[in-house]
Amino acid sequence: MHLKEKQLPAPNLLDDIAERLGAEQVFLRNRIGGLPRDEARQFLKSHRSRLENLEKARLMGIDKALIGVRKKNLAMASASYIELQEIALVDPEPEPENN
């Protein structure tokens, strides 16, 4: 009994190009305002949504106030993170050399 070798199809150039374009589209979709939507930004957004859902529940006044403060803190943390991300990812203009 002979086992026939399984031949893999030769890579097709069009498939390679399509795969690269697909990866590029995913890369571009995972950006907000030109900056990557990384794990930290996803966490901040999902945690804020969680707090908003909690806020809709029947809570006492103090609980709602606490959730409101936490949402404000998350908004400030998100703004700070975005600012730091912009500084880190945007190439600053090179300083002119004084010769």
Give phi and psi for 38, each to the nearest 5.
-90, -175
Q: Which domain does 53 fall in, by range?
A: 27-89
In a domain, 5, yes or no: no
Handedness of CA 35, 36, 38, 43 (dihedral sign): positive
17-55 confidence digits (pLDDT tens): 666 666 566 556 667 777 777 888 889 999 999 999 988
Say what angle helices 39-56 and 61-89 make with each other, to 10 degrees.
Answer: 160
pLDDT at 74: 94
Please, which pLDDT band fits residue 92 given cuts at 50, 70 and 90?
Answer: low
98 domain residue, yes or no: no
Based on the structure, what is the number of domains in the chain?
1
CA distance 34 to 81: 14
Q: Residue 1: what pLDDT?
A: 47
Residue 66 resides in a domain: yes
This prediction's pTM: 0.57
What tokens appear for 73 in the block?
Answer: 């803190």
